Chain A
């Protein structure tokens, strides 16, 4: 079959070893505590690559760190205020085992950080990046990427994409860097045949049928756009939201940030950028404590409208990728799935 290859599972580690020679390698690893996290791999031999569980983190922080220094400044006398940018070395990086939700989130971030202005810090990290994806044969308990329409399988945006076929992976490429890897390391790849492609399609059909919850995102989005969400829904959500920001931090597409100065000496400091959450009451507060948004009541509404209404109107798709991480993290019971169910009149 044209442009479809087979990588035997026995060949995966040898291939990664080769790729690691030229690239910083980041993949889902299980740590001592049993947590699966995207982690930069130091020694491939000493790690537990985990392709069975959903990584608890997304790729967000690798391109857009929770906190970063934009530049440093010095001000030894009042007429000598100076700004200096520190250059960060960024070797080519390969992200392996990226699920369709997290891949879609990176594609979304690419737009956020380049559409209105080109963000040099994000783009610098994003350049020289190879994304090797893994389709989801078995969606996890809180997943709803079928509703956000970016999974469980994806057919664009990756350099290489893997589908688990038991003893082997079916491999596809969408970008030239992926094609280049197949060409350079052809000893690991064989041409796929019709059986392999049929097996992939079968895996896709089975995966599609395995979502444990039905999330009517389109209906909720329509009701939001038509202002048909009952006020009682907003009231319930606002009352229960504990304002922890966990949903925004764990979310692979939440990219709001704040910028502030951190004084590091009598006459010097750093300008810091860090993640922010639009649900925080300080998010829109201006000097003099004037706040144009009632965050207590409206913060969570702003968040859901951005993801399910405003981005939907702009791009005809929500900026929620259905990864379900916020469902796990929300102890207030105000996550996006619950909101969608409340809005659709379902008993959550």
Chain B
């Protein structure tokens, strides 16, 4: 975000010193530049208000004391590092951080592996391939809360269809406590999130696979390479830029998942599915301690910022390669 705040003023002066040499048409050129900026300015102001401002405001809020009466009195005095100390000494914070990591890595690994397998499968030519690929997008297009609600019913310990199915197969005697046991609930949330993310991974990886020229495969076949060898030494290396994009985008959207967990488990049982996202929500909007909520939110941003830097690096390296 710092970059946006940096570039806007950098764009501003551009209008004034656009042509320092030619002085005569200077005001006309300046007017034209100003006019052109009118196209861009509303969107930039909006982005600053809805992304830039919250980022700055959250940092400030993390040093302020908010109580349930703050919104009546309007008073939120600065309290130094009190919020930070309170959050870091909160046992839940460490758990939430660790569960966020598990949730994110588990989801990404599952979504990516299955998405890639499906993408490779769909490169075969067969009837109905296009239609099936299109319909497979549905889980990704349905609102996440809605999917979570449906899964909540499916994974119900006593009445859920998942357990009755497993019982019929004889895989479980009394049913798995998918959402009611602290040791299983996080895994269940990961499974549901994998289900949601597969289509997105599949579509992008499939697009990447289509870009690989057919001749490369023909050459490999002539050299006698088997399917696994071809996949490892041709498909994966040539797909690498797309793989990075998918993983980084997946990371940035998974680490902030909130809807899914709130509707599936509500962070429970026994806080076993609390993540940094749900903890921010509970601190700010349930306990009305916006200061501590801001602390957790800032940690969340810090983690994703590291990966955003990685993403942009890769993006730049990629466009460099393309040219």
Are A and B genuine complex partners? no
